[in-house]
Chain A
């Protein structure tokens, strides 16, 4: 196997790093939420955005969505869909955070389960950075094959 297109263009390389980073992040974030969904439902409740009937359903589903996003991003399956969903998620988190930062509520972020600290503007910047990383993956991911397969070299 011959190494092609390496290291230029640089964007697909960065996209792969971002992909793996997001994948580990999602795994880490989902772990505690799956262990204690009731606690996570309380965290979502504290944001005071969603109606009560949606809280448990979201608390059960969201961590598993994060797990499947992590798997897809790690293995390179459905990367477009996964990075699209990931960017939507981070945009939603950022919106929920902003609303409560403006409201002045002193609530736990819940970003990585119980151990999270109270919400602050740093978390908003972090969410926005992760949103941009997901978008980067969406636009520039070419997968490992881009660097190794002979067919892509002619493109």
Chain B
């Protein structure tokens, strides 16, 4: 019985050994080949230089924008959920009537509750204040990643909405 056990152990050991050896050889060849191929091709990419900041900027640039008239039109038809991406203090001082306050850092936490408020044809519009304000795009980007299907950005939204005299409210959400 002992001999049988020992033989069995040696057999498994040898299989394991050869498997690991073969795996290491295949992986090493693939690694060498991949790195060489990448160096030689004209469109090579840096092996350790992935920049997520650039990528996020590119992805944010692709998010569609909406103008104030269309946004108000959808508001009247009740086919829109406004998301105020500013900080809670600014939000409390005044925001688009019915808007939710979702700061970019918290967007992934709020995505699930936001989803429940959407109907099949409704749109999410994010806004903040000022033409250069990045918050609305950041919130929109995270919401899109979290599976909100239709998100648009109203650039300089708060300023435009307020000056147009459209409905606003004060207080926390």
Which residues from chain A sit less than 8 Å from chain B, CB to CB? 34, 37-38, 41-42, 45-46, 52-53, 55-57, 59-61, 63-65, 67-69, 72, 78, 80-82, 84-85, 104-107, 138
Contacts and interface: CB of A to CB of B under 8 A. Distances in A.
B162 to A, nearest CB: 33
Nearest to A55: B50
A104 B111 contact: yes
B63 interface: no
Interface in B48-101: 48-52, 55
Contacts of B15: 80
A61 B31 contact: yes
B33 interface: yes
B30 A60 contact: no
Given A60-B45, A81-B26, A105 B145 contact: yes
Q: List 8 tightest A-B contacts by C-beta distance, closest first.
A: A81-B22, A106-B147, A64-B34, A78-B22, A65-B30, A55-B50, A81-B23, A61-B34
B147 A42 contact: no
Given A52-B50, A72-B26, A105-B145, A80 B18 contact: yes
Contact of B48 (A57, A69, A84): A57
Given A57-B48, A104-B111, A64 B33 contact: yes
What is the interface of chain A mostly: helix, strand, loop, or mixed?
helix
Contact of A60 (B27, B29, B38): B38
A68 B22 contact: no
A65 B49 CA distance: 21
Contact of A59 (B18, B30, B45, B111): B45
Nearest to A48: B145
Contacts of A80: 15, 18-19, 22
B7 interface: no
Contact of A52 (B18, B52, B145): B52
Given A65-B30, A81-B18, A104-B147, 19 more contacts: A38-B45, A45-B52, A56-B45, A56-B49, A60-B34, A60-B38, A60-B45, A68-B26, A68-B29, A68-B30, A68-B33, A81-B23, A81-B25, A82-B23, A82-B26, A104-B111, A104-B112, A105-B145, A107-B145
Contact of B27 (A37, A65, A105): A65
